[in-house]
Structure 1
């Protein structure tokens, strides 16, 4: 089955393609089909993922898969949350991983010594069509702590600042194989795989 991925993030595409490969699912990005990005006006990951999936399905006429994910830090009342990808722009800074990480550390500077509890959150939503009344919805949460400085060269986003105590490493220090087994996206994908099998009868 071909699914339109409501994202143009090449690294996210690679992660999700690897996770869904056993089902025979082929992901194509919406950008490769000339589909513009959807608005993300909502406060929750699930609502934004659903909006993006419906948008991609409507524009392509194909089933669609959307991911909305980010970082939620307890000391910041869940911020950056759904604004994770553009967090730095809220403070007049450019939109980039490096700027987002720097701004996050600046915002935590006045919140005590830490360690600051945080979680990576991922909502995955799949729809058969734009008007699908029973979308598949899966959530994944990966608990950790925010480091005082970046560690590691791998991954993307906030991976260099997210420390996983049980592994003794930041997410950016993990191999792609380990990350794909343990991450918030992997947890959500595992749940979605089961739904694909049971509800959509794939695989």
Structure 2
């Protein structure tokens, strides 16, 4: 029996961080998504242990200020793409307001650290969400393009092909074929 899950990345990450810090007996307070303060001095050996534990969940402790800012930008983008919070606002405005910093500065730091642009990261996030919607829902391409705030299906299709190397229709055919194979095997 196949079961599909829907989950909130922000809530999941926050819960993992809280549980692991509590399990290790740390005193802390969570400031916001991806940020917390220790309320006591933590020895280097304990920090290395915590780093290893978080790494198992794909969570990295960021120490460089520019890397911290890039992670905040990525978090804002993921939140923007995966929620309905920014449907009618330009992404540059949303990110700048969310982080309370000039967008040009944010864009420059992001490019310097990641060697790609904020716009490319947004496209990748939107295409990943489009793929998930194609896999997990019965929405057609028009509905998906509207949900992801694309100007047209053609615009979504072009970005999808540029990002994945295949058209959305080809991707949907592969998914349909996999479903048929899975049904035959069950």
TM-score by length of 2: 0.29
Give the structure with the higher percent helix: 2
Q: Higher relative CO (CA 8 A, sep ≥ 6), structure 1 or 2?
A: 1
Give the structure with the higher percent strand: 1
For the pair shown, which has the larger CA radius of gyration, 1 or 2? 2
